Amino acid sequence: MIEHNDRVLLVGEGREYYIRAGAGILSTDKGQVDLALLVGAHAGDTIESHNGARFMVRIPRPTDFFMHAKRSGAPMLPKDIGFVISSTGMNRNDAVLDAGTGNGIAAIYFGGIARTVTSFEIREEFAALAQKNIRDARLENVEVVAADMLTAKGRYDIVNLDMQIEAAHIENAYSLLCVGGYLACYTPFLEQMAVVVDSAQDRFSEVHTHELIDREMTRSKRGTRPSTSVCHSGYVTIARK
């Protein structure tokens, strides 16, 4: 059941709105929607605008937070996050350290799978934004720490780095990982990827780097072809202790 101040998606007429349930009015080209009507509603319910337009209620999933949540920069894309999850075997028994939180999108994805997620963000304003987005996702197993991951302590099954990575970060990640655990590093440039690989090869038993190419297919009356949008995002290095 939707409670006051919960994030909700309203979908109708080819449009969707990322809003909060409770006090206020949503103005659309199909009329005004009283957001108080959402309190007590469930996913799949419909509500109407003042002139009778109908909107279906959805509970946001991580994909929706990626699309709609306020951003602090360029987050990892879902395809890269998914590759980290599958390549590390992330599961409900895992303690995950995430560094370079940004707006918290990767932490939100991880939080739906892992036992705990501790996400380090050195910029306090980004950490505050991530905390807000994670609260909206209603994840109680995700903690944001406004600090450098070099200060992290404890034991983790997986460490994910999406930040300006230096050799010291790789060394610290190695010290934090359990034997058999995984380090995942997202790097947008080849030079940064080289730093990761050069630093990891002397410590980790397995080091592999991948470039994930994602091409959406488009179909029209003229025919079907790959989209012309950019399909490269960055490089993901997976290393195992």
Q: What is the pLDDT of residues 100-131, one digit of tens each?
A: 999 999 999 999 999 999 999 999 999 999 99
User: How far is residue 85's CA from residue 96's CA, in Å, rounded to a whole number?
Assistant: 11
pLDDT bucket at 34, cuts 50 / 70 / 90? confident
pLDDT of amino acid 97? 98
User: Could you tell me the domains of the chain?
Assistant: 7-58 (3.10.330.20), 64-240 (3.40.50.150)
Compute how many other C-beta atoms are within 10 angstroms of the C-beta atom of residue 11. Answer: 14
Model's pTM, two decimal places? 0.89
State what percent of residues in the chain have pLDDT above 70: 100
The pLDDT mean for the chain works out to 93
- Among 9-13, 157-161, 192-196, which stretch is predicted with the lowest mean pLDDT? 9-13
pLDDT of amino acid 82? 96
pLDDT bucket at 31, cuts 50 / 70 / 90? confident
